[in-house]
């Protein structure tokens, strides 16, 4: 049975509130609400005080909220205006100032209302307190990401034999997304990326009506979700003809860069040092300017969360973090290659959570 960690998560948040000299936190980010209470609906505000947890939602989620969060939170079903309803609760009135709020989530209007209508400074911007807790995963969270990775790999294996020259990117995306659902993915955690030919030089290209020609790159970047936790995978292939010398060369550079990162990443190193494991390999091949994005990002209830494996991050990578490892090379007008996997970080190294072949394969 999966452990119920909600009480210990709330206790950890209360400790953070104490360290920040906050009496309470108004939680608005859906992923944070789910992390603390288990509530997975799209409309919910949460107030955590020293001795209370109150979840306000609307009538669409009355039954769901009671079932998912009733064991940890007092659930209030609001007729209209979740923020008004939350502020009307006795726990909000009783909370001593200051009360923190997630200023990176609330709208400008909501934040202005909280700060502008209380000249006594009762409400204060609190930043990403819950996100800091979420960066370190419990074993069952890591297992959920690994299961999402298994689902992603199963779906990809079913789709690859179906890919042919002449198919559109949109067609391939549709087949892949259907396979993800059939394999057990609850959602598509982000819009599926399918790009072919020179469009593979666009790191976040959405699928288009463009048809795949023989000998071209095909880049697939997609995700799966299990128990709310996300996997994020990218593979790059050649379709309809063997790779030419330049394709083989660039692919080998990216694969070697990823292998170096997978071998060297570990908890305790900075995000910058982790990024350098792959970046230095790509730069040594004369392609450093073609790798513009970070090596990786945190993964969990969201597809992009803390920590960052980035050349601008001096923060140590925590043990228990799950991150992507996704070096890429992008050459406008020619195309691009990215290989992405997910790992869990420990002090002894990184544990691979996505077991999908990385060889350069010719499809069709």
Same domain membership, residue 195 and residue 99 = no
Q: Provide CB contacts within 8 A for 361, sequence distance 6+.
A: 160, 237, 238
**Number of C-alpha atoms within 13 angstroms, CB side, residue 320?**
10
Report phi then psi at 216, rounded to 5.
-95, 160
- Return the CATH number at 267: 3.90.230.10
Same domain membership, residue 129 and residue 165 = no
Same domain membership, residue 156 and residue 112 = no
Q: What is the structure's pLDDT at 1?
A: 78
Q: In which band, very low, low, confident or very high, does the pLDDT at 117 lie, cut at 50, 70 and 90?
A: low
Q: What is the DSSP string of 294-313?
A: -SEEE-SSSSSEEEEE-TT-
Which tens digit of pLDDT belongs to each residue from 62-109?
A: 999 999 999 999 999 998 789 889 988 888 876 667 899 998 888 878
Which tens digit of pLDDT belongs to each residue from 98-113?
A: 899 998 888 878 877 7
* Domain assignment of residue 125, given as a range: 6-133
Same domain membership, residue 145 and residue 127 = no
Same domain membership, residue 157 and residue 38 = no
Report the length, in residues, of the chain. Answer: 364
Q: What is the structure's pLDDT at 191?
A: 96
Give 3-state DSSP helix, strand, coil % of the chain, rounded to 5. Answer: 40, 25, 35
Q: What is the structure's pLDDT at 197?
A: 98
**75 located within any domain:** yes
Q: What is the structure's pLDDT at 304?
A: 97
Which tens digit of pLDDT belongs to each residue from 210-244?
A: 999 999 999 999 999 999 999 999 999 999 999 99
Three-class DSSP category at 150:
helix
Q: What is the structure's pLDDT at 213?
A: 98
Read off the pLDDT of each residue in 264-293 and give the average, rounded to a whole number: 98
**158 located within any domain:** yes
Same domain membership, residue 347 and residue 286 = yes
Q: pTM for the whole thing? A: 0.95
Q: Provide CB contacts within 8 A for 157, sequence distance 6+.
A: none
**60 located within any domain:** yes
**Beta carbons of 33 and 39 less than 8 angstroms apart:** yes
Token pair 């660039």 in the structure block, residue? 250
Q: In which band, very low, low, confident or very high, does the pLDDT at 58 lie, cut at 50, 70 and 90?
A: very high
Q: In which band, very low, low, confident or very high, does the pLDDT at 118 lie, cut at 50, 70 and 90?
A: low
Same domain membership, residue 105 and residue 50 = yes
Q: Does the structure show a pLDDT above 90 at 176?
A: yes
Total domains in the fold of the chain:
2
Read off the pLDDT of each residue in 113-136 and give the average, rounded to a whole number: 82
CA distances 13 to 25, 74, 140, Å, are 9, 17, 20
């Amino acid at each position: 049975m999966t452990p119920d960690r909600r009480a210990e998560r709330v206790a950890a948040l209360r400790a953070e509130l104490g360290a920040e000299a906050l009496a309470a936190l108004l939680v608005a980010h859906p992923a944070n609400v789910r992390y603390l209470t288990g509530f997975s609906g799209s409309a919910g505000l949460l107030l955590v005080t020293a001795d209370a947890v109150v979840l306000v939602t609307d009538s669409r989620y009355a039954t769901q909220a009671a079932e998912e969060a009733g064991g940890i939170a007092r659930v209030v079903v609001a007729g209209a205006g979740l923020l008004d309803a939350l502020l009307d609760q006795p726990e909000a009135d009783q909370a001593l100032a200051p009360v923190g709020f997630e200023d990176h989530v609330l709208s400008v209007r909501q934040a202005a209302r909280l700060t502008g209508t209380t000249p006594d400074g009762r409400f204060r911007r609190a930043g990403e307190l819950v996100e800091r807790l979420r960066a370190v995963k419990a074993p069952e969270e890591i297992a959920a990401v690994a299961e999402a990775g298994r689902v992603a790999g199963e779906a990809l294996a079913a789709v690859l034999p179906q890919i042919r020259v002449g198919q559109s990117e949109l067609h391939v995306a549709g087949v892949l997304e259907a396979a993800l659902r059939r394999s057990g993915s609850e959602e598509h955690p982000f819009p599926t990326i399918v790009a072919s030919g020179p469009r593979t030089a666009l790191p976040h290209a959405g699928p288009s009506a463009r048809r795949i020609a023989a000998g071209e790159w095909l880049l697939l970047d997609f995700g799966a979700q299990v128990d709310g936790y996300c996997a994020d995978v990218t593979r790059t292939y050649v379709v309809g003809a063997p790779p030419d010398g330049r394709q083989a060369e660039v692919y080998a550079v990216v694969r070697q860069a990823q292998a170096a990162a997978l071998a060297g990443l570990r908890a305790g190193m900075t995000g910058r040092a982790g990024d350098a494991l792959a970046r230095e390999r790509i730069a040594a091949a004369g392609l450093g300017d073609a790798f513009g994005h970070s090596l990786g990002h945190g993964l969990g209830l969201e597809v992009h969360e803390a920590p960052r494996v980035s050349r601008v991050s001096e923060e140590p990578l925590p043990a228990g973090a799950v991150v992507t490892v996704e070096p890429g090379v992008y050459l406008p007008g020619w195309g691009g290659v990215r290989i992405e996997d997910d790992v869990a970080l420990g002090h002894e190294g990184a544990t691979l959570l996505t077991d999908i072949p990385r060889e350069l394969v010719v499809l069709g």
